Amino acid sequence: MEDNIYWLFEAQKSSEFTNLLQLVSETEIDGELKFTPSISRELGRLLVCRAYAPTLLELSHLVVMAQQCSPTQPDALERFFWDSGPARPNVFRAYIEKQLKLEALHSGGFSLSNDAVCIKHQDIDFCITYSRMPLLSALMEFLVTSLGYRILDDVLQLLSSQPLSKKLISDTANQLSRLLYDFLKSHLPTVQTQKNFNHLIGFLKSTYPRGFDQNSINDDLLLNFWKESSDQVSENNGDFKTFSSVYQRFVQLYRSLEHVGALRNLTFATSIGNDRDAGEIDPGDLLEHVEQIESSGDLLDTLQSPPAESIKFLNNREHSRLDRLIKSGHIASKLPLSLLRSEVFEPQRTRLTQALRDKVDKKRITMLIEEGPEEDYNSRFVLFEKDKSHIEQVRYASLYVLLQAEHHSAIELALALNPDLDLHHLNTDNNPAPDALLSSFFKMATKDSKVETDLSKLADTAYRAFKKIARKGFHDDEISQTDIIDGFAVGSDVLNNLKSQIDTFLQTASQKSLPNGDWTSQFSGDRQIFAKQFHKLYVEAERSQTSENSP
Amino acid sequence: MSHWHEWSPHEQKLAEAIYSALDGFTNLGAAQDPTQRRIDFTTLFRCVTHPEEPFPAALQKQLTQDPKLREDFHHLLKKCSSYHIPRAAAASSGDLTERTVDQFRIRLRPSRVESDQLYILIELPDETTDSPSTLFLYDTQGGCLKQALPAPQEREIQLLMNVDNPLVLGLKDHNTEIFLR
């Protein structure tokens, strides 16, 4: 019986591919994530777009280098990829420099520079930068997880058992490519995804028979779609069962329609390509499109990747609370009510499914439904405002660090914090050199300046903000370290973007014309709608399923 | 702004491809149930190559359930081990008291002092320069035991164990393989 009502508990069945990708992204080593979130996402893009062939060729070259790191050890390759530490450029560099013996360097044709390792041997002439190695390592992790170690090792051993040549490396990469293609063919949920896409388009067509574009996607449409489609679990694999998954998929659809629509507007022809070209989409092109779309969603990932990851700009709760809003990008402001519905009702939905898993009685389930969510829309706005204030404080604190380090990013950040900043004091010559201006800027931007200027006041505010924060990276003994300063430089830019996005969202939401008038009334109305739908999905459906299974 | 029905088949296909790609990794970041999580290869490799790393119970369970994982683990053990004693010949009968391969032997010798204890003695070949730090006992069903080894004394590693210790019982069993690293 449990198998039959599996769908009642689970929002959707994750594909094997998603599970494997998740496994890779959650792998830890030495107490931290082996791969940064941005590397995991980059791997995901590479695989779903099937644009991995060139990267497999790079990986095959890296395997050759890895085998040379400890040429007498049978597990040299494994040590490189699974025992060198977290997959970071500086970690790989340190490992290679330590392991690679001079003898191997000269005889094997290897050379090291600050940025890369190069092989020049027979007809091979190839370099791999250290910054590329984390992605290659992530791809290797996916290969071993999906294909299996035995199969992978059998292929890679050819690189150490035969005379090295360009052809051998290329053949190895091709073999890996074939194996990966076969795996993805049967594990990427292409058919189901296509069905879902058609379902979404079909709904738009029936709602807007005269035609639609991405701007036809609005809050009412999402709610209607969810009410209609959420219980058709067997048809759509449960992919539309929860409101948050509906929101997510409509954001994806919005992005894809917007992107292709923009391309149409750029090209003067009426279509991209022509009908005769209506064959497969080139993987490299697809990856490029997806990367362009994804770049706006990577803000939070950037804070969790080097160099910003060494500073606790946001704690886990803040990160989690802002995740959906930031990943939605500008679309959050197009669908503010849907975003809030996802944020506020999803935790209640999670509690319901957990209760069902725990086999809680129907009376209790009904009570959980009637109780409603733990927060409402107004309290969520309060939390977003709190996050915004925190980000503002962290921006000022970052300015203090960058001013202390006399880092050029301080200027941009200062102007972002105060666009009307009066800098006329800087220009004491008719034709000042850039260096002189910079020097003057940092001289004046101190809290202890004898002359009070906008800059000195800003520096004072920055200092006070810094002193109030007791998180990692915000201590006096840390802020002179190069990696910390770099982290603040990268992080401050992200924070500027985060603040801007949150501001836009809050402003749009405050001006939104709501079906029920104001946000308080809207929440009351939505509570009833969601209660009715949850009852349908989690009480009535289970009741009918149970009676079907009764002898 | 153009409408969907005005787009060419290729443009519509591109939109679908982009949607599918975005959907492919859309749930990245959602926490998985830790009890259902597969063992990642990094953990597997560290378990085999680092003597101080414990043998996770989750790995033990998954080895007995997943034939592919068993194959991979066995391959890794073979590759990373310095010495390997295969399963005993089918002709042997009764419990084994000695396991031998070309280079060395493992003996089980009862303790003279305690009747419920015995010694596991691992005799290293004369030419050995590196003493193994870990012993793995592996059976055909995926059951595996990991035992850290002390430093040898005069080319012999000694372990004192109870007679019903799983390692002792496993060493006596014909169907187990031994890997030393």
What is the per-residue pLDDT across A21-62, written as a single tens digit (0 to 9) for each?
A: 999 999 999 889 999 988 999 999 999 999 999 999 999 999
Q: Considering only A10-14, A349-353, B125-129, which range has the smallest mean pLDDT?
A: A10-14
Q: Is the pLDDT of residue B32 over 90?
A: no
Interval B77-81 mean pLDDT: 92
Q: How high is the pLDDT of residue A423?
A: 73
- Contact between A93 and A104 (Cβ < 8 Å): no
Q: Is the pLDDT of residue A155 over 70?
A: yes
Global pTM? Answer: 0.85
- Scan residues 246-285 of A and list those with Cβ closer than 8 Å to B: 248-249, 252-253, 255-257, 259-261, 263-265, 270-275, 277-278, 281
Q: Is the pLDDT of residue A313 over 60?
A: yes
Q: How high is the pLDDT of residue A72?
A: 78
Distance between CA A326 and CA A457 in Å, rounded? 31
Interval B67-77 mean pLDDT: 93
Distance between CA A23 and CA A42 in Å, rounded? 15
Q: Is the pLDDT of residue A514 over 70?
A: yes
Residue A453 — pLDDT band, cuts 50, 70, 90?
confident
Q: Is B16 helix (H, G, I), strand (E, B) or coil?
A: helix
Residues of A with CB below 8 A from B37's CB?
23, 26
What is the per-residue pLDDT across A66-76, written as a single tens digit (0 to 9) for each?
A: 988 877 788 88
* % pLDDT > 90, chain A: 66
Q: How high is the pLDDT of residue B92?
A: 60
Q: Is the pLDDT of residue A421 over 70?
A: yes
Phi, psi of A106, deg, nearest 5: -75, -45
DSSP string, A45-97: HHHHTT--HHHHHHHHHHHHHHHHHSTT-TTHHHHHHHSS-SS-HHHHHHHHH
Q: How high is the pLDDT of residue A110?
A: 80
Residue A188 — pLDDT band, cuts 50, 70, 90?
confident
Q: Which residue has the higher pLDDT, A188 or A512?
A: A512
Residue A333 — pLDDT band, cuts 50, 70, 90?
very high
Q: Which residue has the higher pLDDT, B149 or A545?
A: B149
Sign of CA pseudo-dihedral A277, A279, A282, A288: positive
Q: Is B72 helix (H, G, I), strand (E, B) or coil?
A: helix
HSE of B175 in the Cβ direction (CA atoms, 13 Å)? Answer: 6
Q: With CB atoms and an 8 Å threshold, state whether A75 touches B28.
A: no
Rg of chain A over all Cα atoms, to the nearest angstrom: 27
Q: With CB atoms and an 8 Å threshold, state whether B2 touches A27.
A: no
- Contact between A473 and A489 (Cβ < 8 Å): no
Q: Is the pLDDT of residue A449 over 70?
A: no
Q: What tokens does B46 get?
A: 């560290």
Q: With CB atoms and an 8 Å threshold, state whether B18 touches A290.
A: yes
Phi, psi of B94, deg, nearest 5: 75, 180
What is the predicted ipTM?
0.89
Q: Which residue has the higher pLDDT, B93 or B179?
A: B179
Q: Is the pLDDT of residue A119 over 90?
A: no
Q: Is the pLDDT of residue A332 over 90?
A: yes
**Of A211, A252, A281, which has the smallest distance from its Cβ to B14's Cβ?**
A281
Q: How high is the pLDDT of residue A273?
A: 42
Q: Identify the residue among B25, B134, B179 best suited for mutation to test binding to A, counting A beta carbons within 10 A and taking the highest.
A: B25
Q: Is the pLDDT of residue B45 over 80?
A: yes
Q: How high is the pLDDT of residue A10?
A: 45
Q: Is the pLDDT of residue A525 over 80?
A: yes
CA terminus-to-terminus distance, chain A: 11
Residues of A with CB below 8 A from B8's CB?
270-275, 278
Supply the DSSP symbol for A514.
B
What is the per-residue pLDDT across A227-278, written as a single tens digit (0 to 9) for each?
A: 999 988 777 777 899 999 999 999 999 999 999 999 988 764 444 444 445 5
Q: How high is the pLDDT of residue A436?
A: 75
Q: With CB atoms and an 8 Å threshold, state whether B26 touches A257.
A: no
Residues of A with CB below 8 A from B27's CB?
14, 18, 22
- Contact between A4 and A544 (Cβ < 8 Å): no
What is the per-residue pLDDT across A345-373, written as a single tens digit (0 to 9) for each?
A: 999 999 999 999 898 888 999 999 999 99
Q: Which residue has the higher pLDDT, A523 or A6?
A: A523
Q: Identify the residue among B14, B75, B76 best suited for mutation to test binding to A, counting A beta carbons within 10 A and taking the highest.
A: B14
Residue of A nearest to B22 (CA): A252
Q: Is the pLDDT of residue A493 over 90?
A: yes
Interval B110-128 mean pLDDT: 85
Please tell me if residue A341 touches chain B, with a CB cutoff of 8 Å: no
Q: With CB atoms and an 8 Å threshold, state whether A275 touches B10.
A: yes
Q: How high is the pLDDT of residue A271?
A: 40
Sign of CA pseudo-dihedral A11, A13, A14, A19: positive
- Contact between B106 and B121 (Cβ < 8 Å): yes
Interval A490-500 mean pLDDT: 95
Phi, psi of A124, deg, nearest 5: -95, 130
Q: Is B18 helix (H, G, I), strand (E, B) or coil?
A: helix
Phi, psi of B142, deg, nearest 5: 95, 0
Residues of A with CB below 8 A from B41's CB?
82, 141, 144-145, 149
Q: Is the pLDDT of residue A545 over 90?
A: no
Q: What tokens does A337 get?
A: 């009510």
